[in-house]
Structures are given as structure tokens and as C-alpha cells.
Amino acid sequence: MAILVTGASGFIGSALIPLLIEKGHRVYGLSRHPPIGSRDLIPIIGDVIEPNLGLKDAPEDITAIYHLAGIHTLNQEDKDSLIWKTNVDGTKNVLAFCLKHDIPRLSFISTAYTWPVNPYGLSKIENESAITEFAKEHNIEVTILKPSIVMGTAENPYPGHFSRFISAVIQTHRRAELIRRKVEGSLRLPVIEPLFRIRGNPEGKLNLIQITQVAWGIANIEEAGTFWLAHPDPPTLQQLADWIGELIMVRMKFEPEFKPTPIEAAFQKMTAAFTPYLQGDNFLSNLKLSPPITKSFIQETVKRTVLD
């Protein structure tokens, strides 16, 4: 089978394409900066925001599209409407491409977090609705895949939003530590282990899933329908705080409500985009055999993406 993968040079595309080739498929990797080609990977320069995906001459043997291209951001504003243009209008261009070239099958990579809390979540809600209606009207086979928070590995590294949040914790703590040491030194106070509080649900679960499992799910789930690529047993927010705090030597605690110190208030403002995700989630999972998210995995991820 010949498959067109949009967003081929991205994080998920880079992990997915080798699995598709292993299954015997020929892959056309479409991107503005496509990956290096090989016998079974044909790179194509294109752009989903352009009609016909920016292609003058589209390959004639494509039988399925894996649509990964899009802007993944937690920004609370869509400046210049770029998120909507890429994610929503770009997906409509992919659907039009399917219709124009008689491509009978589409796998669309959405997100488990189809929450109306930011432009990204809204764009994916619109995507799923438009794709479902298109499938009914034109009788094509559609698979919607909904990964949770995708974590990189040593083999497929990726900083991602999780590591950016930890970077903000470390940055804020270092600023607070300088102030604290200056005060303790001038007043000759005993050294006190600081407590860093974060507003959130300590028992809420944060659904983290390794890229290897997400790529496997995309490559192997071929039937029509909606499937959740989430972890069946994710850690709680307080577990994550304990594991990370042990590594960076900061005592961290999630609390639903508290009166923040000036440093904690500054952190809340800096990380406002993450707030909706710190209440926990409860997703279904179609991945029954996922490696556990352990303390060692989290600490190695932080070392690799934040501390190196």
C-alpha cells in the first residue's frame, strides 16, 4: 500500500514512518522540509495550507493518508489565525485532496485533549467534526487517533510541553533561591528547605504516553472509528512532583487552593496555559500494553531535555 504522511518530518512522523515501512508500505513523506528519502520513503515538498497540498503532480498510487501536520501549541491566543489556518483549513485541504484523488482511507491524528480551553483544542474539535461529516458524505474510511501527552525517549527525543513546564519550575526556583539565600545570609537565618506549591489536583492523573506506543498505535490501528492512544495507568500529579522534586532538589506540592507567595504567583502567571491540564484527566485507552511511566523514566526525561 502507498501511504502519504503529512507532517512527515515532525516528532510523531519521524517515529511512525519506519513502522509503516516495516509493514511493507511505500511512504510518501510530505512536509515543507521533508525527511531524507530512501528506497521506501519518497520525500515530497508540500504544505497542507495550500490547495492540493501544494503539489503540482500528486502521486497516483496513494491509497491512504496519515494526516499528522499541524501546529501543536497551548498558546491562549491564535495570533494571525495561524493555528486555525494550519489545523482547520489545512485539514479541509487534506479532505479535498482525498476526494480529488479518490483516496479511500484517512487516519487523522487528533488529541485526547479536545477541550475548548485554547485555540489548539478548539481546532481539533472542529477537525473531528468536519472529518466525521466528510466520511459520512463521501463514504471514505476514517480512523481518528487521540494521543494524550506524548513523551520523547532516548531514541526519539522531544522536549515537548511537559519539559517546558519543568523548565519553568526550575527557572522560578532558581530566582527564588537567590533571593532566599541573600535574605538568610544577611539575617543569619538557618537553612530552610523551601516548599514550592503549584495550584492543581494532587490526586489528578496526568496522562503521559511514550512516543513508541503512540507510533505503534497509529501504524497498527487500521479499522474505522475513534481510538484513544492514552496510558491505561498514568501517574498522579503529586507522584510526578515528588519524582521531579527529588531530582532538582525542590520540595513540590500540588494544592487545589492556597494564597500564593509572590514567587508562586509569578509562576502561576508564567504557566497559565498549563492550568487546565493540572486538574487531572480520565481518558479511555486503546493501548493495553504500555510501558509504565516510572520515576526513572521521568527523571531521565528531565535530565535529557531540561538539565543537559
Average pLDDT for 214-237: 97
Q: If pLDDT is split at 50, 70 and 90, which confidence band does 289 have?
A: confident
- pLDDT value of position 193: 59
Q: Is the pLDDT of residue 75 over 60?
A: yes
- pLDDT value of position 195: 87
Kindly report the CATH class assigned to 2-147. Answer: alpha beta
Encode pLDDT of 157-205 as tens digits: 999 999 999 999 988 887 655 444 444 444 444 445 578 999 999 999 9
Average pLDDT for 18-32: 97
- Read off the amino acid at residue 301: T
Please report, for the chain, the start and end positions of each structural domain, with discontinuous segments joined by +.
Answer: 2-147, 160-205+234-281+291-307
Q: What b/e readout covers 157-192, taking b as 16+ CB neighbours within 10 angstroms?
A: ebebebbebbeebeebbeebeeebeeeeeeeeeeee
- pLDDT value of position 184: 44
Sign of CA dihedral 9, 12, 15, 17: negative
- pLDDT value of position 180: 47
Q: Per DSSP, which regions of 12-61 are E strands?
A: 26-31, 41-45
Q: Is the pLDDT of residue 260 over 90?
A: yes
